[in-house]
Amino acid sequence: MPAQGDTRVAEAPGWLWKHALWMVGLGFFLSALLATLVDMDPRLSGYFYDPTAAQQWFLKTAVPWIWLYRYGEWPTWALVIGAALVWGGSLRRHSWICYRRACALIVLAVMLGPGLLVNGVLKPLWGRPRPAQVDLFGGARPYQHWWQPGHIGGGRSFPSGHAAMGYVLVLGTCLVPRRRSAWLRGLVLGGALAYGSLLGATRIIQGGHFLSDVLGSGSLMCFLVATLQAVLPTPALPNTAASQNPPTVFNAM
């Protein structure tokens, strides 16, 4: 009886975490809608703009924001490079085959998310002007809501590339073994969301993005990672003790 009770307790977080990224992505989307209703984009950006200052976006080059702008994407790129090296190494080391799916998830999430979807498609085609480019903050272009497509090449504000590079790290929740407790997944998810929000706040403070650009990146990255986790096949591994119990968190996605 106690064993059966324990099994039921262990299964509950499994369902929750299976759908967690979809729910978080939906939360980002609803937050963007709410921000639009209360006109939060220009209001929030206005706190960091002073038309009388020598540098109107007065915190643009201040520490730590300038450091986060320059180097904030580096941890994600380091993770991608490491995953690519491990995947390549698995071609020679059969004991690394169990890591291939995790490495593929990391590389595909970053290449398809911040790489293709955000910087390759939406930013150039959506044409939303950045805060520093709109007439509300001394620019020459009219303000445009995030849901209104503009002229191709008219701006690269929506969505935020820096925020996407932070939020895509929610893929870490897919790398935590199922046997680990839910608090570890919560810690990984919370850290990724906090880091993406920090990079997004950096770009808002610098006049590079509106709040909805950041929220849009969060929604897109959560939906993308959840989709990849659902569609990536799980390879059949040799029936060995090493393959059934790989030594790191890359074993059970």
Report DSSP letters for 166-194, one per residue: HHGGGGGGGTS-TTS-HHHHHHHHHHHHH
pTM attached to this predicted model = 0.87
Mean pLDDT of the chain: 88
Tokens for 12, please give them. Answer: 């509950």
| Average of per-residue pLDDT across 121-126 | 95
Amino acid letter for position 232:
L
Distance CA 154, CA 124 (A): 8
Write the pLDDT tens digit of every residue in 135-167: 999 999 999 999 998 888 889 999 999 999 999
Residue 208 pLDDT > 80, yes or no? yes
CB-neighbour burial class of residue 5 (10 A; exposed 0-12, middle 13-18, buried 19+) = exposed
Contact 246, 98 (CB under 8 A): yes
pLDDT average, residue stretch 188-216: 98
Place of tokens 């390759």: 120
pLDDT at 9 over 80: no
**Region 88-100: what's the mean pLDDT?**
92
pLDDT-derived band at 75 (thresholds 50, 70, 90) equals: very high
Three-state SS for 108? Answer: helix
pLDDT (0 to 100) of residue 237 = 53
pLDDT of 14: 64
246 band by pLDDT with thresholds 50, 70 and 90: very low
pLDDT of 89 strictly over 80: yes
- Residue 247 is predicted with a pLDDT of 44
Residue 180, pLDDT above cutoff 90: no
DSSP 50: -
How far apart are the C-alpha atoms of 35 and 210, rounded to whole Å?
10
* pLDDT above 70 (res 235): no
Q: Rounded to an integer, what distance in angstroms lies between the CA atom of residue 11 and that of residue 212?
A: 36
**Using CA atoms in the order 61, 62, 64, 69, what is the torsion angle rounded to 10 degrees?**
-10
* HSE toward the beta carbon, residue 177, CA cutoff 13 A: 12
